[in-house]
Amino acid sequence: MGARLIVTTLNQPVGPGQPQPEQGVTYAGRLTREDGRIDWSRDAAALDRQIRALTPWPGTFTTLDTPLGGQVVKIGGAALVSAPRSAPPGTILDDALTVACGQGALRITHIQRPGRGMMDAGSFLRGQPRQITGLSVQQVLEEAAGRLAAGRPVTSITAGRTDAGVHATGQVAHLDFPMGTGLTGSKVRDALNFHMKPHPVAILQAMPVDSAWNARFSANRRFYRYRIVNRRGRLALDDGRVWLVKRALDIDAMNEAARHLLGRHDFTSFRASACQAKSPLRTLDRLAVMRHGEEITIETDARSFLHHQVRNM
């Protein structure tokens, strides 16, 4: 149909051409990174067009307030939504990352933290520690536990961190319930799972422990598994759960490099700037790279890791 329409149009007589008038002509300047800065006082529709026009390059960005100061994040996608007029521009309105604008609001759908890949907003919000914005695993767990304790606050401690975009399949945590609740392990498991609906968090097993036991400091082993899909084709069913690397990877070279990290070393170069560990010395017991068809798996374990150590390795 399109080809026939083009042929028909070209065969029709065309009138004399007319030059474009100089008056009213505008010129587009060269785009810079600063063009991507989001001003939340602008109309939501205008910001939506800005994000779509400047994605992927030069990209749009904004600053989130965190306990460590302002953190610049890239915005990869957003959707127009309604918002109460009383909310000041830039206010995060709910757990879905809806941000108030000068008029209307934008719900951020894709976001990228420094040093990380672009991720959907749900993955960004589902990290283990309580978030500066939105919902987290810790918040869901503690709010559910509070219902079991007749509304009294219950704190949780986990064996390790799972930041936004990281999935925990065997996380260990302990909850400090007030005395006299009379809860058994099976009741705690079932009740927490009930109260955490519909959030994607599940308690697999629960049992009472001594008051001196601590999920973080009593742990004697921690395991990490990173999954890489090594192919040209885009991700489908595993999107958000694996890292897509299109260039061919040499696992023999990767294993050779990993061998130099085994044992006890000073991992200062691999720790996060916000790491709270007193010593950078850690003993890495295992770091193995395996290929199964298109998927490459990196597995490592040790008694403890520094903040961001595994990710940076």
**How does pLDDT run across 100-159, given as a tens digit for each residue?**
898 888 989 888 877 677 887 766 765 545 544 446 778 888 888 888 887 788 888 888
User: What is the rounded average pLDDT of the residues 186-209?
Assistant: 88
Q: What pLDDT does residue 49 have?
A: 94
pLDDT at 20 over 50: yes
R_g (Cα) of the chain, nearest Å: 26
What residue segments make up the domains of the chain, in order of their start? 34-127, 137-196, 222-311
How confident is the prediction for the chain on average, in pLDDT?
83
Tokens 């990380």, located at residue? 116
173's enclosing H/E stretch is: strand 173-175
Domain 34-127 has CATH 3.40.50.1370: no
pLDDT of residue 138: 80
For residue 189, give the H/E element and its range.
Answer: helix 185-195
Spatial contact of 249 and 229, defined as CB atoms under 8 Å apart: no
CA gap 283, 305 in Å, rounded: 8
Say whether 302 sits in a helix, a strand or coil: strand
- Residue 38, Cβ neighbours under 10 Å: how many? 20
Which one has a higher pLDDT value, 42 or 6? 42
pLDDT of residue 301: 92
User: Which secondary structure element, helix H or strand E, spans residue 10, and what is its range?
Assistant: helix 2-11
How far is Cα 143 from Cα 154, in angstroms, rounded to an integer? Answer: 8
- Angle at which helices 137-148 and 185-195 cross, to 10°: 120
The string of pLDDT tens digits covering residues 250-305 is: 999 999 999 999 999 999 998 887 777 889 899 999 999 999 999 999 999 998 88
Instruction: Judge whether 34-127 and 222-311 match in fold.
Output: no
More confidently predicted of 291 and 239: 291
- What is the pLDDT at residue 132? 43
pTM: 0.56
**Residue 232 pLDDT more than 90?**
yes
Whether 68 shows a pLDDT value over 50: the answer reads: no
What is the per-residue pLDDT for 47? Answer: 95
Averaged pLDDT, 232-242: 86
With cut-offs at 50, 70 and 90, classify the pLDDT of residue 240. Answer: confident
Instruction: State CA 173 to chain mean position distance.
Output: 21
- Residue 163 appears among annotated catalytic residues: yes
Q: CA–CA separation, 125 vs 165, rounded Å? A: 8
* Annotated active-site residue in 94, 95, 120, 163: 163
Residue 8: the pLDDT is 77
Does CATH number 3.30.70.660 belong to domain 222-311?
A: yes
